[in-house]
Amino acid sequence: MLNLLLFLLTKQKKKQSLEEMAVRIQNGDESLLNTVLEDYKPFIKKTVSSVCKRYIYESDDEFSIGLIAFHDAILKYNHERGSSVISFSEVIIKRKVIDYIRKNGKVQDISIDFALAGDGDEETNLTLDQLVSVEEYRKQKEAQLRREEISSFKEQLTQYKLTFNDLIEQSPKHDDARVNAILIAKKVVASVELMDYLLEKKRLPIKKLEKQVNVSRKTIERNRKYIIAIALILVGDYVYLRDYLKGRLEI
Give the model's confidence band at 99: pLDDT under 50 very low, under 70 low, under 90 confident, else very high: confident
Which of the four pLDDT bands, split at 50, 70 and 90, describes residue 109? low
pLDDT band at 251 (very low <50, low <70, confident <90, very high): very low
Counting Cβ atoms within 10 Å, is residue 184 exposed (0-12), middle (13-18) or buried (19+)? buried
pLDDT exceeds cutoff 70 at 118: no
> Contact at 8 Å (CB) between 78 and 85?
no
Range in 120-124, 128-132, 199-203 the model is least confident about: 120-124
- Helix, strand, coil abundance in the chain, percent, nearest 5: 75, 0, 25
Q: For residue 129, name the pLDDT band (cuts at 50, 70, 90).
A: low
Q: Residue 110 pLDDT > 70, yes or no? A: no
User: What residue segments make up the domains of the chain, in order of their start?
Assistant: 12-144, 159-249
pLDDT range class, residue 130, cuts 50, 70, 90: low
**Position 234 pLDDT exceeds 80:** yes
pLDDT value of position 51: 86
Mean of the per-residue pLDDT values of the chain: 80
